[in-house]
Amino acid sequence: MHPSKDPLHGVTLEKILTALVAHHGWGGLAARIEIRCFMFDPSITSSLKFLRRTPWARAKVEQLYRELVAQGDGVR
């Protein structure tokens, strides 16, 4: 079986968000994606809850993660 070339394959939303926060910090993430849960009293739990209910926001987070993986900044 061939491994998937999709960087999101087998990666949970929690792992994606954790990697982005570790790389950019909450402030950097809020500057890149203007979502209230990143700007005011951010937490992984509240952000996951919002992202799971909001497809457009999740798509932006997933795209930012794809860009991070493409840069090869030790993510994966």
Single pTM value for the model: 0.87
**Contacts made by residues 31-34, CB under 8 angstroms, sequence distance 24+:** 32/64, 33/57, 33/60, 33/61, 33/64
Q: Is residue 6 part of a domain?
A: no
pLDDT classification of 7: cutoffs 50, 70, 90: confident
Question: Is residue 76 predicted with pLDDT exceeding 60?
Answer: no
Give the domain CATH number at 38.
Answer: 1.10.720.30
List Cα–Cα distances, 62 to 1, 34, 59, in angstroms: 25, 14, 5
Residue 44 sits in which domain range?
13-71
| Extended strands (E) in the chain | none
**Tens digits of per-residue pLDDT, 13-70?**
999 999 999 999 999 999 999 999 999 999 999 999 999 999 999 999 999 999 999 8
Q: Token digits for 39?
A: 């700007």
